Structure 1
Amino acid sequence: MIYYQGISVFTNQAVDVCVQAEKIVEITSLQISYELPYIAPGFFDMQVNGYKGSDYSLEEFSEEHLQKIIAHLAASGTTQHLPTLVTGPRERMLQTLRIISTARRHSADIAAAIPGIHIEGPYISSEDGPRGAHDPAYIRDPDAAEFEQWQEAADGKIALVTIAPEKPGALDFIKYITACGVVAAIGHTAADPVTIRQAIAAGAKLSTHLGNGSHGLLPRLKNYLWEQLAADELMASIIADGFHLPSSMLKVISRAKRLDKLILVSDAALVGGFEPGIYQWGSLDVQVFEDGHLGLPGTEFLAGAAHLLDWDIPHFMNATGYDLASTLPLCTTNPAKILQGTENLGAFAIGAPANLVLFTFQPGDERLTIEKTIRAGKEIFVK
């Protein structure tokens, strides 16, 4: 058995967490006179494209890239994530899925780190703004046969598909994947409000990075953002890095959606963590700006994110006024409860998987200082 001591983020009390055989077997209150780090469930990031030169949509993607991404995430306190494949050529997407599934079969740790896969595109809007940084050459209409190819290549681990519901055949596609136990998410869309409602009726359960992947200008009252914000049926993921959404929007979304329907995602991308400059991402140029955000050079459009959840958590807190106990479920239990078969991943309870993070934090800090990360009872990062 292994013991980890820390201040529970949920009770603000010192606890001793006993881990055995990849599970939490006991949580005991402590009376101490010395300082301890916070202890919490490991973070669960539902949208990771890549980081620091590795990316799931690279033409030359390999298991080495996968391992590097997992290691970077561990250093940020993230124990689980969904590899996110963006719009790309058919065969390249299939090849990446095969590499991920092979790595999961051969490594228990990789399997624990990757409970599912997120396909973001290619069934999205081709319009500037909603398309984001996706390559327009590979955007296409929804295809159930291609989805089945994805699932075969991924050993059935496709858990989430982001789709623009206005695409031809999209509503039937949403019904189909929902019946397969896969979450259909609305994102990168130019749909009118009626189509948004039709997508929800067809089974859509999530808005992907709500507020981003959208036009620069929208109709004042009748638009896809208001409709998704108002839909109680939809959970919403958001990027709270301080660049993708202003503080006022973070407040509005958190109040309208309520915290139990909100999920923090990093949307970290290939050049995240790089020095300022212009970098090649597929056929696109992406700029890392001096303030740290990623964008398409010469435009107002963003191109993924440069920060991980250790940065996003305090920025969400600073913008909205919520504390750690209120915020951490947005990247632990909330993503776990929407995806099939992952319900216990974000729990901090006896019998839950031993996915833990120990960190220090003071109000006003720009990021959490990660001290130790544990996945399935194994220490995967130590400062």
Structure 2
Amino acid sequence: MTAAEGHGAMTAAVGSGATTVVEGRIAGTASSARVTVRGGRIHRIERLTGDAAAVIVPGLVDAQINGYEGHDVNDEHVDGGTIRRMAAALWARGVTTFLPTVITAEEERIVGSLRAVRDARALHPVLGHAVHGAHVEGPHLSAGDGARGAHDPARMRPADVAEFHRWRQAAGGIVRIVTVAPEVAGAVEYIRQVSLECLVALGHSSANAAEALAGADAGARLSTHLGNGVARTLPRHPNLVWEQLADPRLSAGFIADGHHLDAAAFGAMVRAKGVDRSLLVSDAVALASAGRPPGDYRTPVGGEVTLHEGRRLTLRGSELLAGAVKTLDECLSWAVAAAGIPLADAVRMASENPAALLGLTTRGRLQSGAAADLTVYDDEPSIGRTPANVTIVAGTCVHRGPSDAGLAELGEIPEELR
């Protein structure tokens, strides 16, 4: 940063041609800055003196999200428009990059979902940037109680590299993550081969510690929502959770919604794994939205489900969770408020860390030359509690909230991005 004269509580972000200027305090720091965006990149960051009221957050990166606001990549009628509408809704929550997550299903259904992701990416360059690809969670998972989560055990099958290649061929190579249980038939060889083409994660598993280690040895580099998707009862030690926590080769995703992990367990796991190898994911489903009343619903993930008071989602008639109904910004807020994670660390876990894991080294960070993905909030307490004031993706304003006084020069959001 270079020094510049500050303007106190200035909150405006104004556009002029291909240049946009945003001013505010960098989330989790005491530093205020003027961020100049040009040509889809952060062109310059200048230090400001004085206190700014607005807060700037790097664009959030959600590596595991099934749906939001009634839209779900697993819907039987999904198409590119479904994913476009999902993206537009997520931009209001500060999520600027995400992987629509396809769960266990028949191969034809998985391919249909992947093609919808591919088609959405082709609708507009900004969508091609925001919808980075897909995460396929299944179908090579454990059918055991607890381990399978909301996945249909009747659709699970042995690991098959040929099926993976058919996914890639059908959808143009957009699969970025595959989650597999390392103990299923053929899994180790599958991990060995598939990890040459995309990121392989371990998850929804009944593996013992040795089998989890074998998965990492074969090339897995991520634990999918660690602490969840495991048998309801585990040996005290050793077990697959301890093994994955201890393995420095594995980063770990955590669903910080207050239901998948309590604050003590989440905090302990993050401190054991280390902030650098921890990332937040939402695992949100179509029911995720503000104001959704408790009750029984039918959803593409889990089928018959019950949404309880406190926004806990379970399979109907069961205590087993059926995904989540909080967005990534809400998870970030909970990690800070409930688990005591410093805001700067929680922001990294929801932006820079998942971006780096996906090889997107210019995203999730506020620095010159980085992708111009960022969000402006009224103040730090607003993060995760209210929609953003402004969201910018690849230098384009894609969302303007109700508190957007002084932001008129940003212009109208393109119709194809609404």
Q: What range describes the TM-score normalised by the shorter chain of this pair?
A: over 0.9
Query: Is residue 2:34 matched to residue 1:5?
Result: no
Query: Is residue 2:227 matched to residue 1:208?
Result: no
Q: Is the 8 A contact 2:252 2:278 kept in 1?
A: yes
Query: Is residue 2:99 matched to residue 1:82?
Result: yes
Per-residue CA deviation, residues 207-246 of structure 1 (Å, 9 max, x unaligned), is 0000111222111212211111111211000000111100
Query: Is residue 2:273 matched to residue 1:257?
Result: yes
Taking the aligned partners of 2:306 and 2:88, their CA distance within structure 1 comes to 24
Taking the aligned partners of 1:270 and 1:215, their CA distance within structure 2 comes to 26
| 3-state SS in 2 of match to 1:320 | coil
Among 218, 224, 248, the residue aligned to 2:234: 218
| 3-state SS in 2 of match to 1:242 | coil
1:174 paired residue number? 191
Query: Is residue 2:155 matched to residue 1:138?
Result: yes
Query: Is residue 2:342 matched to residue 1:351?
Result: no
Taking the aligned partners of 1:246 and 1:10, their CA distance within structure 2 comes to 23
Q: Which amino acid aligns with 1:130?
A: A
CA, structure 1 residues 290+10, in 2 after alignment: closer, same or farther (shift >3 Å)? Answer: closer
Taking the aligned partners of 2:387 and 2:48, their CA distance within structure 1 comes to 23
Query: Is residue 2:87 matched to residue 1:70?
Result: yes
1:29 CA drift (Å): 1.1
Taking the aligned partners of 1:344 and 1:365, their CA distance within structure 2 comes to 22
Taking the aligned partners of 1:313 and 1:108, their CA distance within structure 2 comes to 28
Taking the aligned partners of 2:95 and 2:370, their CA distance within structure 1 comes to 16
2:337 paired residue number? 318
Among 126, 129, 132, the residue aligned to 1:112: 129
Taking the aligned partners of 1:212 and 1:368, their CA distance within structure 2 comes to 28
CA, structure 1 residues 155+77, in 2 after alignment: closer, same or farther (shift >3 Å)? Answer: same
TM-score by length of 1: 0.95
| 3-state SS in 1 of match to 2:305 | strand
Q: Is the 8 A contact 2:26 2:32 kept in 1?
A: yes
Query: Is residue 2:305 matched to residue 1:289?
Result: no
1:71 CA drift (Å): 1.4
Among 230, 252, 268, the residue aligned to 2:246: 230
1:32 CA drift (Å): 4.1
1:275 CA drift (Å): 2.0
Q: Is the 8 A contact 2:329 2:383 kept in 1?
A: no
Taking the aligned partners of 1:154 and 1:16, their CA distance within structure 2 comes to 40
1:179 CA drift (Å): 1.6
Taking the aligned partners of 2:120 and 2:241, their CA distance within structure 1 comes to 38
CA, structure 1 residues 365+16, in 2 after alignment: closer, same or farther (shift >3 Å)? Answer: closer
Among 138, 142, 147, the residue aligned to 1:125: 142
Among 192, 209, 212, the residue aligned to 1:196: 212
Per-residue CA deviation, residues 33-85 of structure 1 (Å, 9 max, x unaligned), is 6x421102110000010012211111111222112211121111000001100
Q: Is the 8 A contact 1:251 1:319 kept in 2?
A: no
**Quick one: percent identity of the two aligned structures?**
37
Query: Is residue 2:187 matched to residue 1:165?
Result: no
Q: Is the 8 A contact 1:310 1:368 kept in 2?
A: no
| 3-state SS in 1 of match to 2:279 | strand
**Matches of residues 28-43 of structure 1 in structure 2 within 5 Å?**
28-32=46-50, 35-43=52-60
2:9 paired residue number? none
Q: Is the 8 A contact 2:314 2:320 kept in 1?
A: yes
Taking the aligned partners of 2:342 and 2:272, their CA distance within structure 1 comes to 18
1:319 CA drift (Å): 2.7
Q: Which amino acid aligns with 1:50?
A: G
Q: Is the 8 A contact 2:55 2:380 kept in 1?
A: no
1:198 CA drift (Å): 0.6
Taking the aligned partners of 1:110 and 1:291, their CA distance within structure 2 comes to 33
1:6 CA drift (Å): 0.9
Q: Is the 8 A contact 1:210 1:237 kept in 2?
A: yes
Among 139, 161, 165, the residue aligned to 1:148: 165
Taking the aligned partners of 1:139 and 1:313, their CA distance within structure 2 comes to 32
TM-score by length of 2: 0.88
1:22 paired residue number? 40
Taking the aligned partners of 1:364 and 1:71, their CA distance within structure 2 comes to 20
Unaligned ranges ≥5, structure 1:
none
**Size of the alignment, in residue pairs?**
380
Q: Which moved more, 1:190-199 or 1:269-278?
A: 269-278
Among 326, 330, 333, the residue aligned to 2:352: 333
Q: Is the 8 A contact 1:360 1:368 kept in 2?
A: no
Q: Which amino acid aligns with 1:238?
A: F
CA, structure 1 residues 66+363, in 2 after alignment: closer, same or farther (shift >3 Å)? Answer: closer
Query: Is residue 2:318 matched to residue 1:299?
Result: yes
Give the structure with higher Rg (CA): 2
1:281 CA drift (Å): 2.4
Q: Is the 8 A contact 1:361 1:367 kept in 2?
A: no
